[in-house]
Amino acid sequence: MNPSARKPARKPVIAGNWKMYKTIAETESFFAEIRPLVAGSAHCDIVIAPPFTLLRRAVEAAEGSGISISAQNLHWESEGAWTGEVSAAMIRDAGCRSTLIGHSERRQLFGETDEGVSKKIRAALDAGLQAIVCVGESLAEREAGDTEKVLERQLSGGLAGLTGQDFSRIIMAYEPVWAIGTGRTATPEIAQQAHNFIRSRLGQAGPPEAAGRMRILYGGSVKPGNIQGLMAQPDIDGALVGGASLEAKSFAAIVNFRA
Ligand code: PEP
């Protein structure tokens, strides 16, 4: 298939993951600064994922800007005795349109499993949220030659039982753990290879046309200086950005990668 004929059909997504950063005042300043910088950026979907305490304020501050707000995590139950947890319905109620699921920090530091990822995807989709599902191998796994095995396991475990319609509300994010917060970006070629593998596996797990339409984002030390090379790859449809999403100017420069 000709990549240049295929790529325009998938609208790019540039998403920022704020992790555990920012106060309400800093959130207000961020949106005041970024709004004019992305006012003409209709070429891509723009998403910001702040911590839970900032979600409602971020939704209000982003209103009318074209930026949608995402949570970073959720619990799979709709309500109940789950101290410290937040449900998909609550996230939706705060005005969010999506949630990250299975970020490597959740997997590595908080024991998130593929089974948990699968339950969270179901809960998010059932509540009307889009799911931004993260997969990726560690450095040891890459060095052992296990990258595809790990991606395969995360995809088959996490996406088990989903329909073609479910696929249309999922965005995948390939985030090699060794590239997150390390300044060590995967080369565009390495990222493309993994994205291509993910797309081919998605095509086996669900309807091939749904896999062809799914946006697959790259994440791992994306900066204004490397976004163009990544976006030139046929299977890279956007970016999930950590550190560089905290500054309005650098995040806007990534959003405006075509300029
Ligand atoms: C992330 O947190 O998802 C991420 C990719 O972080 P960074 O861009 O800082 O590597």
| pLDDT (0 to 100) of residue 180 | 92
Burial class from Cβ neighbours inside 10 Å (0-12, 13-18, 19+) for residue 239 reads: buried
Domain edges within the chain: 11-245
Mean pLDDT across the stretch 36-59?
97
Q: Do residues 69 and 47 make contact, with C-beta atoms less than 8 angstroms apart? A: yes
Q: 14 in helix, strand or coil?
A: strand
| pLDDT (0 to 100) of residue 207 | 86
Substitution site in 180, 246, 247 for ligand 1 pocket (most atoms within 8 Å of beta carbon): 180
Mean pLDDT across the stretch 39-45?
95
Please state, in angstroms and rounded to a whole number, the distance separating the CA atoms of residues 190 and 100. 23
Q: With a 6 A CB cut-off, is 241 part of the ligand 1 pocket?
A: yes
Which protein residue's CA is at the shortest distance from atom 1 of ligand 1? 242
Helix 24-37 to helix 248-255 angle, to the nearest 10 degrees? Answer: 40
Instruction: For residue range 99-137, list pLDDT tens digits in order.
Output: 999 999 999 999 999 999 999 999 999 999 999 999 999
Which protein residue's CA is at the shortest distance from atom 6 of ligand 1? 242
How far, in Å, is the centroid of ligand 1 from the Cα of 133?
A: 14
Any catalytic annotation for residue 103? yes
| pLDDT (0 to 100) of residue 185 | 86
Mean pLDDT across the stretch 253-258?
95
Which protein residue's CA is at the shortest distance from atom 2 of ligand 1? 242
Q: CA separation (Å) from 236 to 2, 12, 16, 113, 185?
A: 14, 9, 16, 25, 14
Q: The domain at 11-245 falls in which architecture?
A: Alpha-Beta Barrel (3.20)
Q: Do residues 135 and 158 make contact, with C-beta atoms less than 8 angstroms apart? A: yes
- Predicted confidence (pLDDT) at residue 179 exceeds the cutoff of 90: yes
| pLDDT (0 to 100) of residue 141 | 96
